[in-house]
Structure 1
Amino acid sequence: MDIKKFVDRRKALKLSQMKLCKGICTQATLSKFERNGRVPSLSILNRLCARMGITVDELNEDPASSIAAIRKRLNIIERDLMMEKYLKVQAALKEIDEAQITGIPLRMQFFYLRGMLNAVTNKKPDEVLFDFSQILDELDEKHQTIFTQLAYVGSGITYTRINQPARADFFFKKAHDFIRASLKETLVNEEYADYLRLLTLIFYTANYYANKGNLNLSDQLIDSGVALCSQNHVTYYLPRLKFLAAENAVQEKADRSDIQRLLSEALAFARLNHNQVIELRVAALKKGYVSRV
């Protein structure tokens, strides 16, 4: 971080330390930052920079760590996470220096990705919940962004795994309420910005309720997810949604032809998206289902 750029900007605006930090932080906090490089909290630093008409990212000396470059890397990782390429996601996250991510939205995205990866790959609960707490307790204290909802779902996955059903149900109910409200918004706003993340919420919530035996609610969520994919012309989640629908259909003892159709659709979309995980699951379910009928 280029602290000299920060100091030069303050002096160019003829702002004293006391005037710049008034209502934001103590002068001692600002002095420690300018003299010793002790970076204050991101919320404080963002407000100090905003008062001078600059952004935190402008203080970053490394062009490779610019907001655009980091956003691109995180978006690629998020896409791979949706397609269950967990080893690739793990390797990519390890290459990112958390300290270089200064913007609050990007930090939330980073903690969501690392937390969700750890949740779905059965890492230690405290590791998972620590990342989500960064969002819930620090970066989105008012719980207004979709990253809070994603943190709820990841927390629900973790509490399900460690057999704390009341807590899991608490978080998934919050996610379900958000999904219902968001789906109404997509009916009037075709450019809903977070539809891919909404699909993530829909899939994991549908999967949760399927495992609880509430197949009707799960099917409703799956149908909403498929409709959202169609509306936005995306196929990332179709393999997983169609496969989950096939699993539900088996549990519901649906017609053999319906189950076969869903499995065929899941396989077709898995091949289209190079999702080998779903291809293997389809093969296993086909084999198990045939042996039972």
Structure 2
Amino acid sequence: MEVLGKKIRERRKEKKLSQIELAAGICTQATVSKIECKNRCESLDVFSSICAKLGLSVFECLEETYEQEIISLLDHVENLSEVVKHKEAYEIFSKYEVDVEKLNPFIQTKYFYYKGSTSLLGASLFEEALVYLEQGIIIKNEPTIYNILSMNAIGIHYELQEKFDKARGYNERAYKMIREISERELPLVACKLFFNLAKFYSSLKDYKRSIQLCNQGINLCKSKNSITLLDNLLYEKAYNEYFLTGETEGYRIAYYFTKFVNHEYMMNCIKKDMKDYQIKL
């Protein structure tokens, strides 16, 4: 995507950061150099992290393009999906006719993932969802988090239809792909993948692997100084710890954190479990 490299360079110098220091924990120095000198960045997640580190808004650092409008749409849909408002996200998508050919490969994949996942979870349109998600798993340059999320979403698609062998195949592929990405390069949205995979392996009673995936998501939140999906991850970890060892402390942690962030849907899940399993605060 086209970015305002000059603005990034000026703010970096204001903060007395070298390109290496700006890149630390986010990307390579070469990526920062490409942003500043060629006004290009192929990863929205990387560019968002760089802007955040410099105290800049992503949108004030992007060229005014059609692509920027779609990025804003996708970010809004992503935020709705994080709080399980899939139907609302689907309805917003329904108002747009997106010209995919005008988008860079990364944004195309992100679009296919969210168009497919909201069709699946927000409207139960299984065939339509699969059309988009199958486009989302096509790797155009190198694998992105949205390729992997699309793979996982196809697994969810088959799981909802009780085609568990197919579901397992796609989820195993997603699990393998995410393990091939270094922790330093993982974007925050990978928390969604860790949570989804944790739920899947929990349904297979593979509680240890589910806890491991929850911990990976929790650690990613810590490394990014974010609480994105942290309530979901804490709840899922608590559930699996209870069934693996009988431990209940995780439920208390999940309860108080979810109460703090005021996530009504997740709080209802926690309260139901605590009632069913007779867990007291």
TM-score, scaled relative to structure 2 = 0.69
| Residue of structure 1 equivalent to 2:96 | 96
- When Rg is computed on C-alpha atoms for both structures, the one with the higher figure is 1
Amino acid at match of 1:237: L
Aligned identity (percent) is 18
Q: Matched residues in 1 for 2:125 and 2:95: separation?
A: 21
Amino acid at match of 2:80: D
Q: Shift of the alpha carbon at 1:202?
A: 0.9
Q: Shift of the alpha carbon at 1:251?
A: 1.7
CA contact (8 A) 2:116 2:132 kept: yes
Change (3 A) 1:265 1:93: farther
The alignment partner of 1:98 has SS state of coil
Find out whether 1:174 has 2:162 as its counterpart.
Answer: no
Q: Shift of the alpha carbon at 1:133?
A: 1.8
Find out whether 1:275 has 2:263 as its counterpart.
Answer: yes
Unpaired segments ≥5 residues, structure 2: 1-62
Q: Deviations over 1:110-158 (max 9, x none)?
A: 2211211233347132122111122235xx3566222221111000011
Find out whether 1:84 has 2:84 as its counterpart.
Answer: yes
Unpaired segments ≥5 residues, structure 1: 1-62
1:1-293 to 2 correspondences below 5 Å: 66-99=66-99, 102-103=102-103, 104-121=105-122, 123-137=124-138, 140=139, 144-182=143-181, 185-186=182-183, 189=184, 192=185, 194-255=186-247, 259=248, 261-290=249-278
CA RMSD after TM alignment = 2.5
The alignment partner of 2:226 has SS state of coil
Q: Matched residues in 2 for 1:84 and 1:99: separation?
A: 26
Change (3 A) 1:71 1:251: same
Q: Matched residues in 1 for 2:99 and 2:116: separation?
A: 17
The alignment partner of 2:242 has SS state of helix
Q: Matched residues in 2 for 1:275 and 1:291: separation?
A: 20
Change (3 A) 1:231 1:173: same
Q: Matched residues in 1 for 2:210 and 2:114: separation?
A: 24
Amino acid at match of 1:230: K
Deviation beyond 4 Å, 4+ runs, structure 1: none
Q: Matched residues in 2 for 1:287 and 1:202: separation?
A: 26
CA contact (8 A) 2:137 2:147 kept: yes
Amino acid at match of 2:127: D
CA contact (8 A) 2:106 2:144 kept: no
Q: Matched residues in 1 for 2:137 and 2:151: separation?
A: 9
Q: Deviations over 1:145-177 (max 9, x none)?
A: 222211110000111122222211111111111
Amino acid at match of 2:97: D
Q: Matched residues in 1 for 2:163 and 2:81: separation?
A: 25
Q: Matched residues in 1 for 2:89 and 2:209: separation?
A: 31
CA contact (8 A) 2:151 2:173 kept: yes
CA contact (8 A) 2:191 2:217 kept: yes
Q: Shift of the alpha carbon at 1:217?
A: 0.7
Q: Deviations over 1:32-87 (max 9, x none)?
A: xxxxxxxxxxxxxxxxxxxxxxxxxxxxxxx9972222212211211221221223
Amino acid at match of 2:267: E
TM-score, scaled relative to structure 1 = 0.67
Q: Deviations over 1:195-228 (max 9, x none)?
A: 2221111111111000001111111111111111
